[in-house]
Amino acid sequence: MKLAPPAFSNTDADPPRAAGRTPRLTRWSARFPLDRFSPVLSRYRLLTRATPIGATTGREWFPARAQTHAVTVLARSESPGGKPASGPSAAPGVRSTINSKMKLAFCILAAALLAVAADDDAKLLPDGPGKEVVVRTCLECHDAASFRKKRLNRDDWTETVGRMVDQGANASDQEQTDIIEYLVHNFGPDSKVRINTAPFSEIRLVLSFTNEETKAIIAYRDQHGDFKELRDLLGVPGVDSKKVEAKKEMLAF
């Protein structure tokens, strides 16, 4: 069953707002449809409910399956006249309760975003020995673009992995070796750019394209699908064909 955000009216039972103006949080949420995150969010058993808090007006919307909105918290501590409640009419602890619930909602949303992003990054990484430990260890803290954009030799990758472990990454000695071997093989000095899965920063930095050229490549890839050969990349509007020709030995399709 789809759940819709609570409708506001200009009655005394609801928080007043300017006619025709969408609440700020609702406008923000509408720009970020999160139906893809609903399986993650539903684990937290978020339910729709309207709960009056003392003499104030309180309404909280926690969708169990977010269809077109992010987790949105609409809660007010106001008097029927539209001014903040104070004195005997204000329930003690209302503000702290609302803030706690808002923080919880946004923490859950952040966790959902990170989980989906990490899953997408994992799918796009090259297959091979060591990938599983890289996904489990490295993507726990940052996205794949942070290391895909680099082309380091063995010594530099060894130093990078050691620094990562010093900062708290959980990896045994053997797992560190597996990570280093994977990174050297796929993102070493002579490693090619897998143009069909490479993120923005890898295309721009390793292949030395401009921001606009990189955007054009990714937009073309999203619209037309994977590049099959060099000729496909040469046909991307807005990309300097001479640059493509110069970097052809660094490309993998």
Q: Which two tokens stand for residue 76?
A: 């007010």
Residues 112 and 41: beta-carbon distance below 8 Å: yes
Q: Which residues contact 17 (CB under 8 A, 6 or more apart)?
A: 8, 10, 23
Q: What's residue 68's pLDDT?
A: 32
> Residue 91 gets which letter from DSSP?
P
Range in 110-114, 119-123, 194-198 the model is least confident about:
110-114
- Pick the residue with more confidence: 181 or 104? 181
Out of 1.10.150.280, 2.40.110.10, 3.30.830.10, 3.40.50.700, the CATH code matching 193-252 is 1.10.150.280
Q: Which residues contact 107 (CB under 8 A, 6 or more apart)?
A: none
Per-residue pLDDT at 145 exceeds 80? yes
User: Would the pTM count as exceeding 0.75?
Assistant: no
Q: What is the mean pLDDT of the chain?
A: 73
* Amino acid occupying residue 240: D
**How many other β-carbons are positioned within 10 Å of the β-carbon of residue 250?**
15
Region 115-136 average pLDDT: 86
Q: Which fold has domain 125-187?
A: Cytochrome Bc1 Complex; Chain D, domain 2 (1.10.760)
* Cα 59 from Cα 38, distance rounded (Å): 21
Largest CA distance in the chain: 75
Q: What's residue 73's pLDDT?
A: 35
Region 230-240 average pLDDT: 97
pLDDT digits (tens, 9 = 90+) for 158-169: 999 999 999 999
- Pick the residue with more confidence: 73 or 13? 13
* Cα 161 from Cα 179, distance rounded (Å): 8
> Please, which pLDDT band fits residue 103 given cuts at 50, 70 and 90?
confident
The ranges assigned to domains in the chain are 24-116, 125-187, 193-252
pLDDT digits (tens, 9 = 90+) for 11-68: 444 444 444 544 443 333 333 444 444 433 333 333 333 333 333 333 333 333 333 3
Residues 160 and 149: beta-carbon distance below 8 Å: no
> Please, which pLDDT band fits residue 119 given cuts at 50, 70 and 90?
confident
